[in-house]
Amino acid sequence: MSLREKKTAKKKADILRSAVEVIAEKGYHATTMEDIAAKLLMTKGSVYYYFKDKQDLLYQSYKMLLEQSNKMITEIINMNLPIKEKLEKVMKSHIVFIISERSSYGLKVKPEHYFEGEQLEIIFGLQENYANSFDQLIEEGIQAKIFSEVDVKIVRNLIIGAMNWVIQWYSTEGKKSAEEMAEIISEYLMKILIRS
């Protein structure tokens, strides 16, 4: 990749990050291209130089988010750790990520509303990948008799829901750092799984 290409890639990534943040904060429709651009001291026009349209920006933002989380969960799965610690690590990473990126792995409404065709398929694929990885960890724990025999999908959804909701109530002004909060939360959520 040439220097110029690197610069372009960086700029694109910057815009995506900016977009993720603003959209997570205000919602897709309430976010204007102006908002996203202003945050980076750019003009709308520039953003359009890098992205086809607002929807494209949303798609790529969301895709980036999901890819990052898939990368994260895959790495952790491949670590040589006890299953319980793996799952805790995943949860903590998930929570810290949400807090630090000020975003959410979950759109505030169904992807079907925003994407269609190939885009929707890719997004669904990535979501499924993450969900499956999560499920895999839970199942492994169940096999190992460390987790109780729960309905994997439901429990996974509950845990992800509880984590994604954190952005609604966690305040950076509070006493606890993101990491501390992630530690506490993962401990609590683990209780849903741990054999008593």
Partner DNA sequence: CATGAATGAGTATTCATTCAT
Partner DNA sequence: GATGAATGAATACTCATTCAT
Which residues would be at the binding site for DNA (CB under 7 A)?
4-5, 7-8, 11, 31-34, 42-46, 48-50, 52-55
Give the count of alpha carbons within 13 A of 133, CB side only: 22
- Give the SS3 label for residue 28: coil
Q: Which is nearer to DNA, 42 or 90 (CB)?
A: 42
Q: What's the one-letter identity of residue 46? A: S
| Residue 109 contact among a second copy, DNA, none, beta carbon within 5 to 8 Å by kind | a second copy
Phi and psi at residue 147, to the nearest 5°? -100, 155
Q: Which is nearer to a second copy, 29 or 75 (CB)?
A: 29
Owner of token pair 């898939």: 70
State the Cα–Cα distance between residues 86 and 76, nearest whole angstrom: 6
Q: Which is nearer to a second copy, 93 or 186 (CB)?
A: 186
Is 8 one of the binding residues for a second copy (CB under 8 A)?
no
Binding track over 103-142 against a second copy, x by CB under 8 A: ---x-xxx--x-----------------------------
State the Cα–Cα distance between residues 124 and 138, nearest whole angstrom: 21
Q: Which is nearer to DNA, 23 or 182 (CB)?
A: 23
Q: Which is nearer to a second copy, 19 or 189 (CB)?
A: 189
State the Cα–Cα distance between residues 158 and 167, nearest whole angstrom: 15
| Residue 54 contact among DNA, a second copy, none, beta carbon within 5 to 8 Å by kind | DNA
State the Cα–Cα distance between residues 88 and 24, nearest whole angstrom: 25
Is 163 one of the binding residues for a second copy (CB under 8 A)?
yes
Is 171 one of the binding residues for a second copy (CB under 8 A)?
no
- Give the SS3 label for residue 65: helix
CB-based contacts of 162, cutoff 8 Å, min separation 6 = 185, 189
Chain residues binding a second copy by CB under 8 A are 25-30, 106, 108-110, 113, 150-151, 154-155, 157-166, 168-169, 181, 184-185, 188-189, 191-192, 194, 196
